[in-house]
Amino acid sequence: MIRITRIAAIVLALLAGQAALADKLSLNALSAYLNDLKTAEGSFTQINDDGSISTGKLYIKRPGRMRFEYNAPDTALVVASANAVYIVDSKSNQPPETYPLRRTPLSLILARNVNLSAANMVLGHDFDGTATVVTAQDPKNPEYGSIQMKFTGNPVQLRQWVVNDNGGGKTTVVLGELKTGGALSNRLFSEPRPDRN
């Protein structure tokens, strides 16, 4: 009886392991999902490096464009467009802070052709019980930081990402339900000015 119980426990453990593997999405499937994602909009919650929390609305227009509109009391607007990331404080009349998009891990999501199977791009590819977790970096410039993305299946959806920047900072963005496939005006992604956000 004890032997049968042990065999049954081993079989159940093997079956559970196979079920988890079956739920882990392949890198090719995730690359195809990102490449097919042309437009998306939805709410987000951001957990900043200092532990503070921000919320707002996110717009994505691939390739190369993203917009974060923050809810009050935050006064920031972040726009990725024209190969740059612009950060504006709407209460300031200073010009936006500007960074090259290619120097941020977000460039991996916004690339024209995402290929997570490229050599040295993926640092980790796991299943945490509910989502496939992929940690990736620019293989040519690992010093730019990394991004950890969480995807659920049936259908495939991006649910969260964590940016580990080159300064040691960590920012987590948790996505609400994304509306995909709609038309988004290019004006949303224009270079922001302090007087027109």
Amino acid at 167: G
**Could you give the 3-state DSSP secondary structure of residue 20?**
helix
In the predicted model, is pLDDT for residue 93 greater than 90? no
Q: How many degrees, rounded to 5, is the angle at CA 109 between CA 23 and CA 138?
A: 100
In the predicted model, is pLDDT for residue 50 greater than 50? yes
Q: Where are the domains of the chain?
A: 25-189
pLDDT tens digits, 6-29: 443 443 343 344 334 448 999 999
Question: How large a percentage of the chain has pLDDT more than 90?
Answer: 66
CATH class of 25-189: mainly beta
Residues present in the chain in total: 197
Query: What is the rounded distance in angstroms from the CA atom of residue 13 to the CA atom of residue 7?
Result: 10
Per-residue pLDDT at 21: 43
Contact in structure between 61 and 37 (CB atoms under 8 Å): no
pLDDT tens digits, 112-157: 999 999 989 999 999 999 999 999 999 988 999 999 999 999 899 9
In the predicted model, is pLDDT for residue 38 greater than 80? yes
Q: Which residues contact 68 (CB under 8 A, 6 or more apart)?
A: 44, 46, 56, 57, 58, 76, 77, 78, 79
pLDDT confidence tier of residue 193, bands split at 50, 70 and 90: low
Average pLDDT, the chain: 86
Per-residue pLDDT, averaged over 40-53, amounts to 95
